[in-house]
Amino acid sequence: MSHPYTPGAALAAMRPTRAYRCQVCGATFTAQDLRAKYCSERCKQAAKYRRTKKIKATPATPPSSGE
Name the residues that contact Zn ion, by CB under 5 A: 22, 24-25, 27, 39, 43
Closest to Zn ion by CB, 17 vs 40, is 40
Task: Give the single-character DSSP code of 28.
Answer: E
Q: How far is the CB of 40 from Zn ion (least distance, A)?
A: 6
Q: How far is the CB of 46 from Zn ion (least distance, A)?
A: 8
36 neighbors 20 (Cβ within 8 angstroms): yes
Closest to Zn ion by CB, 13 vs 51, is 51
Q: What sign does the dihedral 40-46-48-51 (CA atoms) show?
A: negative
Backbone angles phi, psi at 46, to 5 degrees: -65, -40
Q: How far is the CB of 20 from Zn ion (least distance, A)?
A: 10
